[in-house]
Amino acid sequence: MSDRESGDEQQQTQAPEKTDSGEKSAHNEDDETVDTSHGKASAGRPDRHSGATAEQELATRVLHIQSKRFYLDVKQNRRGRFIKVAEVGSGGKKSRLLLAMSSAAEFRDYLSDFSDHYASLGEHSPTNSETPPEDGKLKSEMIVKDNRRYYLDLKENQRGRFLRVSEQVSQTIPRGGPRSQIAIPAQGMIEFRDALTELLEEFGTDDQEPQNELPESKSMRIENKMFYFDVGSNRRGVYLRVSEVSVRNNFRTAITIPERSWGRFRDIISEFVDKSGSGPKAPAANESE
């Protein structure tokens, strides 16, 4: 029997909201933003493309582990960069965690430790004579970042072994507020670690504000498709990410254009526009409301 998380160990999750033309993807919804300079979360739910709290998605990794999908999104706002981890179960229920880049690096390192410990345990069997601890915990660690605590618990039940990761944000409650959590099947910890490593190698592990002010994101709708234009930066420089999202099924594709090629890209499009004659004009790109 493959290792997978038990239903009674799952956190309370909310069903994904219905999408409309303003949503970029099924896993993207209005996000609580992370203040990477002070570790605090914004109390509001700002629009992804709003001017004051413009949030840009720099990269995404999608993992399919058993019956679950995990989305690892690198995002950036005026306070800095962070990673949002979203778990979508087979029934469509979703939960998420927000990690500062430095916390994500620490989590990545712990994933290696948990994977090694998991490998040393041998094959899981519901009829195994060795009784696990009463709470099912096989190994635990904790990450502390400003007012956030992350609890990492490798657990075991009759269905198998899994890593439960809980995030708790302490604001006005002395003992901390409610937790949000995800459960990663133990067999997928290496795959999860490798995807996280790729993102950290590309975008770094520092919690810092962007060096230069980047243009605000734009979006436009054409018939049953949304197009998003996000400017981001990494160690290789500034780039433009153009995403195409189907309004009907939220299927998404994207291309990335380095800043040095923007002029040539514009010239080619202008050439096609000039040659297209007097056909109907598409609406101009505007900021999302």
Mean pLDDT of the 72-79 span: 86
3-state secondary structure the chain: CCCCCCHHHCCCCECCCCCCCCCCCCCCCCCCCEECCCCEECCCCCCCCCCCCCCEEEEEEEEEECCEEEEEEEEEECCEEEEEEEEECCCCCEEEEEEEHHHHHHHHHHHHHHHHHHHHCCCCCCCCCCCCCCCCEEEEEEEEECCEEEEEEEEEECCEEEEEEEEEECCCCCCCCCEEEEEEEHHHHHHHHHHHHHHHHHHCCCCCCCCCCCCCCEEEEECCEEEEEEEEEECCEEEEEEEEEECCCCCEEEEEEEHHHHHHHHHHHHHHHHHCCCCCCCCCCECCC
Query: 179 pLDDT band (50/70/90 cuts)?
Result: confident
Distance set, CA 254 to CA 23, 57, 126, 198, 257 (Å): 15, 11, 44, 18, 10
For residue 249, which of 30, 18, 13 has the smallest C-alpha distance?
18
Residue 52, pLDDT > 50, answer: no
pLDDT at 193: 96
Phi, psi of 24 (to 5 degrees): -90, -35
Residue 214, pLDDT > 60, answer: yes
Residue 51, pLDDT > 90, answer: no
State the amino acid at position 206 in one-letter form: D
Of all residues in the chain, the percent with pLDDT exceeding 70 is 67
Most confidently modeled of 13-17, 100-104, 203-207, 250-254? 100-104
Query: 215 pLDDT band (50/70/90 cuts)?
Result: confident
DSSP state, residue 117: H
Q: How would you class 225 by CB atoms within 10 Å of its CB: exposed for 0-12, middle for 13-18, buried for 19 or more?
A: middle
Residue 140, pLDDT > 50, answer: yes
pLDDT at 178: 67
Q: Is 132 in contact with 138 (CB distance < 8 Å)?
A: yes
Query: 201 pLDDT band (50/70/90 cuts)?
Result: very high
Query: 24 pLDDT band (50/70/90 cuts)?
Result: very low
